[in-house]
Structure 1
């Protein structure tokens, strides 16, 4: 037979002939994996282990999403013990001086609560370790999410990674925290470490010691406590608002529905959501502003105007302030 005489095969007919009719069968529910199981989570490649600086990164049995949850938990729950100290300190240095209108009358209340957070070993459990854990976990969490964004968007060069770095996207809440960290360090050096170095204890440090320092260097300490108190109150109030779901100090912004069908229809849910967000913003910032104003009124308005000490006590305070590392000559 001449090859040219071969009739072309109809593809549609061939497809229909090749199809087979199958009886319906029930779906086996056990064969469908759970959407919340780990099968749907991204798994690291086994042939290319993750490395950093030429060394394998220790996973300790934790996947990236579990590291995220672990660090977030540490960052959140490490704020609980310092919050107790924050409330006590707010009462001792702001509310009680405002009520008594006198530093000597306020000193006994400070001495009553001091054993609660300055007992041997308890101070580090309440303040030192939680603050360090909060700062370290926050930095580690930002680096983890930054590297995740870089892998997600395929950043290869250093310039591309810098564009996706965590600092340009840092929120107001985090900025106040990073500003607060060195201020807390200086406050601890002046009121706890230096007295331990000079006199062996900080039992003589109280509201009179603070008033004496403000009288010696009024410009420096007024600016310091103004920034310190404002950043502290805003960071604490904004942080607790974030834990409660009121994200008014974070970098996350509400996406507007401009140009979308939902925005064109003007659903009332959008207006209600915007009104709630606006109320949350005013409420959180109003509480922070009121708290900072009350604290500054007690700390600088009452304690800061008490003046220098007298006698041997003032001489001991002068020795402490003059031996503060780095800035002792200015104080």
Structure 2
């Protein structure tokens, strides 16, 4: 009896010892990246992936690498226009506010004009970076929307419309797409038309802008109000995003009613909300102050200077009347 009872006991002890001596099996803590299309791994690594309805060569880059590349284009293309933005803000807002006179402010505009209107330099500072910024943003948004539709299996038109990128604009994107045609109109009036009529824009300055506002005060006051506000908010919000302060791009995170986070109220969550609120007030306060200063100088000083006189005013009238499409309104 002793030998028969000892066998099950010895077997149990060996079983326990063997379970304790087992080496732990490795566990993969890395969850698949659905945005990078790693949820369903593909066996053909070198096969070109289809993006936006056409075959895009990988060039050694995975889809999430394309996101990083396009995001880099979108980010660094804002650096040259920011330099112009600062100079233009000083010439059309700060200096007129200090001098309180358009003729006294004109020489400062002429001093900085060769910096960004030199032959070839203007396109490197403004034209190409702005086009790169807009195109890279559209392509990046289109790629992500197509990936979202494939990820969630959108098959019908109604399902695709819910996942499409057009209705999902953040405040930053809305101000940018609103700003694009306004920049085009501003360039058409101040750069393209003088180049077509006179061969250059040497005669275009603060007096030219004041003359146009005096000719069509309702149109130009509304235009510059929207143009300046959208420009300042887009630039300030964009730079805040590059610095990690996602105020104009962050989406609201809704806490479920049954979650422990909402019931317990962790202190770190309250601190995060306070930091976000502080950043929101700081970024929007800077944007509001910048827009107010710019409008005070552009419309308060330049906009109230009135029409020009003599041959200079006749030349400006000719330029405004020859603006394509909207010349009759100006």
Same-fold status (TM-score > 0.5): yes
1:160 aligned onto 2:165: no
Determine the C-alpha separation between the residues in 1 that align with 2:261 and 2:150: 33
SS of residue paired to 2:213: helix
SS of residue paired to 2:202: coil
TM-score normalized with structure 1 length: 0.86
Equivalence for 2:4: none
Match runs of 1:167-206 below 5 Å: 167-206=166-205
CA contact under 8 A between 1:169 and 1:251: conserved in structure 2?
A: no
Determine the C-alpha separation between the residues in 2 that align with 1:138 and 1:163: 20
1:232-274 Cα shifts (integer Å, max 9, x gaps): 0000011111111111111522343643212222211111111
CA contact under 8 A between 1:222 and 1:300: conserved in structure 2?
A: yes
Determine the C-alpha separation between the residues in 2 that align with 1:24 and 1:259: 42
CA contact under 8 A between 2:52 and 2:146: conserved in structure 1?
A: no
1:40-75 Cα shifts (integer Å, max 9, x gaps): 945446499644687533333321101100011111
CA contact under 8 A between 2:75 and 2:242: conserved in structure 1?
A: yes
TM-score normalized with structure 2 length: 0.86
Determine the C-alpha separation between the residues in 1 that align with 2:22 and 2:267: 47
Determine the C-alpha separation between the residues in 2 that align with 1:245 and 1:193: 37
**Structure 1: which 5+ residue stretches go unaligned?**
1-15
Determine the C-alpha separation between the residues in 2 that align with 1:232 and 1:212: 23
Q: CA 1:311–1:283 in structure 2 vs 1: closer, same or farther (change >3 Å)?
A: same
Match runs of 1:11-160 below 5 Å: 41=38, 43-44=41-42, 46=44, 50-51=49-50, 56-160=55-159
Q: CA 1:184–1:44 in structure 2 vs 1: closer, same or farther (change >3 Å)?
A: farther
SS of residue paired to 1:305: coil
1:252-305 Cα shifts (integer Å, max 9, x gaps): 223436432122222111111111111111111111111101100000000001
SS of residue paired to 2:303: helix
Equivalence for 1:236: 235
Determine the C-alpha separation between the residues in 2 that align with 1:264 and 1:203: 66
Determine the C-alpha separation between the residues in 2 that align with 1:54 and 1:72: 21
CA contact under 8 A between 1:233 and 1:288: conserved in structure 2?
A: yes
Determine the C-alpha separation between the residues in 2 that align with 1:53 and 1:131: 23
Q: RMSD of aligned C-alpha atoms? A: 2.9
Q: CA 1:282–1:115 in structure 2 vs 1: closer, same or farther (change >3 Å)?
A: same
Number of corresponding residues: 311
Equivalence for 1:273: 272
